[in-house]
Amino acid sequence: GAGPIAGTALAQHSLVERMDFTGGTATGVAIARAIAASGRVKPLCAELGGNAPVLVFEDARSVAEAVDGVAFAAFVASGQTCVSGKRVLVQRGVWDEFVKGLVSKAAALRLG
């Protein structure tokens, strides 16, 4: 259904125990209000204002490229930009390789 209708139904449904939302601030506020209007308290994780996670999937063209992209997103301008990579979600199949590469890249950064 339409976003506001479906979102309100999910936020107020008794079988939905938690809400996670990534999107605009106005929609996040609407979801919080819908939860409150239901008369129930449920956890809400809201990633608002453009801070969506960086996703790395097993079928990525290259884990090394993913490491480079994430490192750039996380460390450009010392992470002080509205589009910096603050969260990274990595699929299990490439987790070990990705973490090893990112740790190595971060350790090699020159401070100052």
Active-site residue flag, 97: no
Q: Which two tokens stand for residue 22?
A: 């990534």
Of the residues 17, 58, 82, 97, which is catalytic? 82
Q: Is the dihedral of CA 107, 68, 81, 50 positive or negative?
A: negative
Q: Phi and psi at residue 81, in whole multiples of 5°?
A: -125, 160
Of the residues 17, 45, 47, 65, which is catalytic? 47
Residue 91's identity, in one-letter code, is Q
Q: Which two tokens stand for residue 79?
A: 């992470």
Active-site residue flag, 47: yes
Residue 77: CA count within 13 A, CB half-sphere: 9
- Residues with active-site annotation: 47, 82
